[in-house]
Amino acid sequence: DLTALAQLLGDAVRVDPDSGQTVLRLGFRLSVRERAVPDMTGPPVAADSVRTNGKLLSLRALLEFLWHESDLVAWSPGLAGRRHWGLVAWLLRQAAGTARAKGHPLSERIFVPEPFRLERKAEIAARRLNTWQRAAARPGRAQQLLVLIGEVKTIEAARYGHKIVFKHLPDAPLFLDEDLHRKLVRRFAQELDLWAADEGGRLMAIATFVTGRGGSANAEEVALMPTTSQWLPYDDPYGKVLLESLVDQHRRFRTLPRFTLPASTIHPVAVLTDTVEPHTLYLSLDSSEALVPTKDSDTQWIWDVHDPLPALPPQPSGRRARGHNRSSPQ
């Protein structure tokens, strides 16, 4: 399975035959009384918040799973100018609504902020506070955690520790203590560098948090994922160049999340879906690295990044013309 989802099926991800719902096994806790995940301060095998063996979904892998299930990994020319935060947030909530985790609907634990409107600031804040009360401490009960997904605006110093300010939660940052901030900067150094280097790009965060007495969100675990301006995830600057080239050339394609695959595993960046046969698109980052030819090598496209970007596999002439017309000014 090119999406790397196959390694998770049956263990971290399975389908309940009775209800038809997707059941997820999570590698992070959703209540304070659960056993905490191991603390690993060294460099991770992959860009992830928790190292897993494929039998559990880490926090980063959950974000990639929801991105995959909501089809935010797909792109076509007709989406240009139409993929905005309101749509992204709605799609993520819909994807969460089809899954269960730790015996409960995942939608009960996922918080994705609605588009912020200054004229509706008070009513938006009231809805948020009502939802966040699910993660507040209650006498005699285990304190629950919620999972927040949002687009990062800034990561900056707070009165105590640091805070992540989200683009659609300007008045409700996510607070991080000094230890968690230090781990975040170390573990996600590459993601933060990619975000800093691309002013038009986006940085998505997923975090588990509890709600303090004052209504604030206090993070327990955080993972980051950079995306292009079209919300397409990527792992390195060459991947971003390739995805942006595909968008500029009005191609149809799907990006392919790694999930729990380590960074050392050769994995395609995307698959073209507007060719006669789907073509998988690979990067060769090391000139000494060779991709082993397979029986499907005719449908593999490889860019050795030390050379200029090669021509992409062509579209059928009729499809190319239709795609161009959809994206051309009227």
- pLDDT tens string 60-96: 999 999 999 999 999 999 999 999 999 999 999 999 9
Which H or E element spans position 283?
strand 279-284
Average pLDDT over residues 40-55: 44
**Owner of token pair 């506070």:** 129
pLDDT of the residue at 16:
76
pLDDT of the residue at 267:
84
Beta strand 13-15 with 22-24 is antiparallel
pLDDT in tens, 197-206: 999 999 999 9
pTM of the predicted structure, to 2 decimals: 0.87
Read off the tokens for 279: 């073509």
**pLDDT band at 323; cut points 50, 70, 90:** very low
Residue 148 contacts residue 174 (beta carbons within 8 Å): yes
Read off the tokens for 112: 């994705």
Q: Any idea what DSSP says for residue 120?
A: G
CA distance 60 to 55: 14
Identify the weakest region by mean pLDDT among 74-83, 139-148, 286-295: 286-295
pLDDT of the residue at 3:
55
**pLDDT band at 36; cut points 50, 70, 90:** low
Residue 24 contacts residue 62 (beta carbons within 8 Å): yes
Average pLDDT over the chain, rounded to an integer: 86
pLDDT of the residue at 316:
85
CA distance 66 to 99: 10
